[in-house]
Amino acid sequence: MGKIKVVHYINQFYAGIGGEDKADTRPLELEGVKGPGMGLKPLLGDEAEIVATVVCGDSYFGENIDEATETILGMIKQHNPDVVITGPAFNAGRYGVAAGAVAKAVTEQLGVPSVSGMYEENPGADMFKKYTYIVPTANSAVGMKDALPKIAALALKLAKGNVLGTGDEEGYMERGVRVNLFMEERGAKRAVDMLVAKLTGQEFKTEYPMPLFDRVPPQPAIKDITKARIAIVSSGGPVPKGNPDHIESSSASKFGRYSIEGVTDLTPENGETAHGGYDPTYANDDLDRVIPVDVLREMEANGEIGSLHEFYYSTVGNGTSVANSKKFATEIAEFLKQDNVDAVILTST
């Protein structure tokens, strides 16, 4: 067997093409090793070599997922790789989604194993960890030195066809894939041992970890809706015409606060959506379909609600990280409290 052939996928930033101003870069192939590949090369040693580096801008991929994936697969396929490495993307949401989508397509359509690296709260990690092997990383490129050895080691094992152990043993995120194993002790005894350890305050580890979900207790109902000040908050991407804050179409890093004082209807002249995860045609034709300003104005005029708050708050939920979502919510909540808002209507897509 000759050297293991590796194809590396990275975004426009790590390829040295540019930052956000070059995020619309179309898929392309670069000669030689680029970006994180320079760190991977010595870690792969004499056993493997990076035969190609494939690049795509984060915005272009997010806005043209099917077309970009097909083009990138074509570039990768011609090199007949033994393994594909994507990223690492750390906590860059759009990059993580692109890296995960490429890894998934490579595994499913080309039958080639793939490895990536992401921060655990990167939306790409949750979306694609069951399709590929994702090494958990720090939330920024500061963790590059720690991430690359783990990625390289996992890539070599996969390329050789080695049977991998659990995520804890091999250093990848749990994929939610269950396999049969033979253990020295039967399940009933292991379960009792864990229960005894738990009851006596000893350390133990479950064999079947359950997902954790936030539980938000509902607030008391509004006593008199006819006197309530109502605000609109949306993850459907509604923005004034021209998207003045340049909210990203995917993996948003910000939210907007926009005045609707005196506005009774949203039209193609005064509003549009910045969202890249659904067909924007109908939203751009009438943004009231995303945030019901027209209906709420009618209810306000008829005395059915006290008033419609003069500002609405907007971001894009498409691929946006949990960490950013919580951050936006905290900041928006402070605005709402300061403005004595009684209730919020949340809209999505």
Q: Could you please report the per-residue DSSP string of 293-349?
A: HHHHHHHHHTTSSSEEEEEEEE-B-TT--HHHHHHHHHHHHHHHHHTT--EEEEE--
- The two beta strands, 307-314 and 256-259, are antiparallel
Give the pair of three-digit tokens for residue 276.
């890249």
> Which run of H or E residues covers position 104?
helix 93-105
The verdict on 160 and 287 lying in the same domain is: no
Whether 23 is in a domain gets the answer: yes
Residue with token string 């043209």? 64
Residue 280 to residues 102, 244, 268, 320, Cα–Cα distance (Å) = 25, 17, 12, 18
Q: In total, how many domains does the chain have?
A: 2
Q: What is the pLDDT of residues 143-202, one digit of tens each?
A: 999 999 999 999 999 999 988 887 888 889 888 777 777 888 988 999 999 999 999 999
The verdict on 145 and 258 lying in the same domain is: no
Whether 268 is in a domain gets the answer: yes
At residue 126 the predicted structure's pLDDT band, cuts being 50, 70 and 90, is confident
**CA pair distance 55, 115, nearest whole angstrom:** 16
The verdict on 232 and 127 lying in the same domain is: no
The verdict on 166 and 245 lying in the same domain is: no
Q: What is the pLDDT of residues 229-253, one digit of tens each?
A: 999 999 999 999 999 999 998 778 8
* Nearest by Cα to 284 from 316, 238, 345: 238
Q: What is the pLDDT of residues 47-80, one digit of tens each?
A: 999 999 999 999 899 889 899 999 999 999 999 9
Evaluate the omega torsion of the peptide bond into residue 27 and state whether it is cis, within 30 degrees of 0: no
The DSSP-derived string for 36-62 is THHHHHHHHGGGEEEEEEEEE-HHHHH
pLDDT at 50: 94
The verdict on 34 and 153 lying in the same domain is: yes
At residue 339 the predicted structure's pLDDT band, cuts being 50, 70 and 90, is very high
Cβ atoms of 35 and 144 within 8 Å: the answer is: no
- In single-letter form, the type of residue at position 146 comes to D
* Nearest by Cα to 135 from 154, 122, 121: 154
Residue with token string 């790789």? 81
Does residue 1 have a pLDDT over 60?
Answer: no
The parent domain of residue 306 ranges over 225-347
The verdict on 233 and 145 lying in the same domain is: no
The verdict on 132 and 44 lying in the same domain is: yes
pTM over 0.85: no
Percent of the chain with pLDDT strictly greater than 90:
69
Rank 5-9, 91-95, 137-141 by mean pLDDT and report only the highest.
5-9
